[in-house]
Amino acid sequence: MKGALGPLLLSLLLLLEAGGCQEVEVKAAVGETVQLQPKTRPSSWVAINWKVKLHSEHYWILRHDQNGTLTSPFLPFAGRVSFHPGNLSLQINSVTEKESGLYSMDVKLRDGSGITSNFQLFVLVPASSLSYCQAKGLVLLLVLGVLITGTMVVHIVASKQAKRD
């Protein structure tokens, strides 16, 4: 029994790798347009469902079949999402950091089988050199520096005037 466990685990690992359980990582900056496109396009599909897992919640995004595309109006990015039947991709315009998550495309084929493609979207916030508070602090320091320099100049000029008199 112990000897059969190794080949069984190896078979399961190979099955998982070949079975479409892999994820495609997609990285985008806040405000960019993202297009999640599967690597291969099945020729005989009947319906496509896009869904997403944001944090621990699952949401349905859209369904496309012979009747057209039906999108969910309840998502925060519902007005910014579109489907491209030519390449089966999902496009999200002006992504936000909250839209980072696991996106899945389920394809139902004519023979009744299905294919799932997964996309892990990471929406990154561009690093700025200074935060608002840091910039405000630097402006305050600059103003204080100018005031101190002005005060010193006035006192030095006044003391030189007093020595001349």
CA distance 58 to 60: 7
Q: What is the mean pLDDT of residues 154-162?
A: 78
pLDDT for res 9: 36
pLDDT, one tens digit per residue, over 114-140 is: 999 999 999 998 876 556 667 677 777
The whole-angstrom distance between residue 151's C-alpha and the CA centroid of its chain comes to 52
Q: For residue 135, what are the β-bridge partners? A: none
C-alpha closest to that of 122 among 39, 15, 29: 29
pLDDT, one tens digit per residue, over 5-31 is: 444 333 333 333 444 456 899 999 999
Rg (CA), the chain: 30
C-alpha closest to that of 91 among 107, 70, 77, 109: 77
pLDDT for res 165: 66
Contact 18, 111 (CB under 8 A): no
The owner of tokens 């561009």 is: 126
Contacts 24+ apart (CB under 8 A), 111-114: 111/44
pLDDT for res 113: 93
pLDDT for res 40: 84
pLDDT, one tens digit per residue, over 139-157 is: 777 777 888 888 888 878 7
Q: How does the average pLDDT of the chain come out, rounded?
A: 81
pLDDT for res 53: 94
